[in-house]
């Protein structure tokens, strides 16, 4: 179990997670655990549908005086911590890196992707005072990525390949996304590739600029996906379906216009969720408005096949993995996008 100071889980949530992980051994359904479903996520705008979904569900429960479904966001700071909690059953659901879920499923960890969370939203940043205009200029330089399982890394590989380069031509450094802007400012790295708002944070501060953005180079880019443990699917399908309905509804709602995005910024910036400067989140939403998109959350097999092939080429996945082994499309196929009233 990760330390609570690194994940954002409080003692009560840790105990609840530990109880949930022991229930199958006791022969009790996971649905019998009291309290809301804890859903892990990183403070990145690729996860923005999650705070919106959680807030909308909580408001509905409050207005009706009834709480048939409850889910609650828990902030993690890095992929290793969230992976460990999901693997051990400390949490039953999380936004995860798609290739990482493929690998976990292949290693017989009982997890399934049940929904997308976003599209686009990754950037490769360099200092504004640097001479770097193309990737050839970064030969031998240090470039930070969140994880070798991150789709950000696959994006970086794509951009290198366009100029006849490979990761061997640069120095790869794995680093939690929140640490990247400071590392670039201190010149500890020469560039970094990550999801927002950690590109926007440095850009808005004036010392960094995008070298490449997925919105320009990889329009159907997906990275963070809603992932749940299979025992939760088995024991409480209605709860999983309601969560997917709210994530899908949140995606539609976010892309309806700037007023909704502003509401989402105010929600996500709060201490309960990302605990970030709302001006940085606003910068992501406005510069340009399609820097991250949320309205198209279809599960498309060919897109996952592409991610898998790129991951195999990158060496992070060793062999092809059957789509059905890591994806459960049934919830998206049955979804009735929840109305978001916040």
Q: What is the CATH number of the domain that holds 133?
A: 3.40.190.10
Q: How confident is the model at residue 26 (pLDDT cuts 50, 70, 90)?
A: very low
Q: How confident is the model at residue 8 (pLDDT cuts 50, 70, 90)?
A: very low
Residues 228 and 116 in one domain: yes
Residues 183 and 156 in one domain: yes
Which residues are CB-contacts of 213 (< 8 A; sequence separation ≥ 6)? 120, 122, 123, 124, 291
pLDDT digits (tens, 9 = 90+) for 42-100: 999 999 999 999 999 999 999 999 999 999 999 998 888 999 999 999 999 999 999 99
Residues 85 and 140 in one domain: no
**CA angle (180, 194, 186) in 5-degree steps:** 20
- Structural domain contains residue 304: yes
Q: Answer whether residue 27 shows pLDDT above 90.
A: no
Nearest CA to 298 out of 340, 337, 258, 240 is that of: 337
> Which whole-number Å values give the CA distances from 21 to 28, 30, 97, in the listed order?
11, 8, 22
- Structural domain contains residue 320: yes
Of 199, 217, 235, the position where a domain reaches its end is 217
Q: Answer whether residue 11 shows pLDDT above 80.
A: no
10 Å Cβ neighbour count for 288? Answer: 10
Distance CA 246, CA 260 (A): 15
Residues 8 and 115 in one domain: yes
Torsion from C-alpha of 318, 110, 90, 16, nearest 10 degrees: 170
Of 168, 195, 217, the position where a domain reaches its end is 217
pLDDT digits (tens, 9 = 90+) for 109-129: 999 999 999 999 999 999 999
pLDDT digits (tens, 9 = 90+) for 248-257: 999 999 999 9
- Structural domain contains residue 26: yes
Of 217, 233, 260, the position where a domain reaches its end is 217
Which residues are CB-contacts of 252 (< 8 A; sequence separation ≥ 6)? 294, 295, 337, 340
pLDDT digits (tens, 9 = 90+) for 12-25: 444 344 434 433 33
- Structural domain contains residue 106: yes
Residues 204 and 233 in one domain: no
Phi-psi region of 23 (alpha: psi -120 to 50; beta: other; left: phi over 0): alpha
Residues 227 and 322 in one domain: yes
Average pLDDT over every residue of 268-289:
96
Q: Which domain holds residue 149?
A: 122-217
Nearest CA to 175 out of 203, 142, 220, 137 is that of: 142
- Structural domain contains residue 187: yes
Residue 10 pLDDT: 43
Are 163 and 135 in contact by the 8 Å Cβ rule? The answer is yes
Q: Answer whether residue 304 shows pLDDT above 90.
A: yes
- Structural domain contains residue 341: no
Residues 211 and 232 in one domain: no
Distance CA 132, CA 134 (A): 6
pLDDT digits (tens, 9 = 90+) for 163-192: 999 999 999 999 988 899 999 999 999 999
Alpha helices, H only, the chain: 4-7, 11-26, 49-64, 79-88, 98-106, 151-162, 180-185, 198-205, 214-217, 230-235, 237-254, 258-269, 278-286, 301-314, 323-326, 330-333
Distance CA 265, CA 270 (A): 9
Residues 241 and 281 in one domain: yes
Residue 34 pLDDT: 62
Determine the length of the chain: 342
Q: How many structural domains are present in the chain?
A: 2
DSSP label of 123: E
């Amino acid at each position: 179990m990760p330390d609570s100071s690194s994940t954002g889980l409080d003692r009560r949530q840790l105990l609840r997670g530990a109880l949930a992980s022991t229930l199958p051994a006791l022969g009790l359904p996971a649905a019998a655990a009291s309290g809301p479903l804890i859903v892990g996520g990183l403070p990145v705008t690729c996860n923005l549908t999650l705070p919106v979904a959680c807030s909308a569900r909580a408001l509905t429960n409050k207005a009706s005086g009834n709480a048939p479904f409850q889910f609650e966001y828990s902030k993690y700071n890095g992929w290793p911590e969230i992976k460990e909690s999901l693997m051990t059953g400390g949490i039953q659901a999380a936004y995860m890196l798609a290739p990482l879920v493929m690998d976990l499923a292949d290693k017989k960890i009982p997890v399934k992707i049940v929904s997308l969370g976003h599209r686009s939203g990754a950037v490769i940043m360099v200092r504004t005072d640097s001479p770097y205009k193309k990737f050839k200029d970064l030969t031998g330089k240090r470039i930070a990525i969140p994880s070798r399982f991150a789709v950000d890394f696959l994006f970086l590989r794509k951009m290198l390949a366009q100029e006849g380069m490979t990761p061997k031509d640069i120095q790869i450094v794995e680093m939690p996304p929140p640490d990247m802007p400071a590392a670039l400012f201190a010149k500890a790295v020469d560039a970094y590739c990550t999801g927002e708002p950690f590109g926007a944070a440095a850009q808005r501060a004036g010392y960094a600029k995008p070298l490449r953005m997925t919105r320009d180079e990889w329009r159907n880019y997906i990275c963070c996906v809603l992932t749940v443990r299979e025992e939760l699917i088995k024991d409480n399908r209605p709860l999983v379906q309601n969560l997917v309905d709210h994530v899908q509804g949140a995606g539609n709602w976010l892309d309806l216009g700037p007023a909704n995005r502003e509401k989402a910024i105010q929600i996500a910036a709060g201490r309960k969720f990302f605990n970030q400067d709302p001006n940085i989140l606003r910068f992501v939403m406005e510069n340009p408005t399609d820097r991250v998109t949320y309205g198209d959350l279809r599960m498309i097999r060919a897109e996952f096949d592409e991610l898998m092939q790129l991951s195999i080429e990158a060496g992070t996945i060793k062999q092809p993995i059957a789509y059905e082994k890591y994806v459960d499309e049934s919830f998206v196929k049955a979804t009735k996008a929840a109305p978001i009233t916040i």
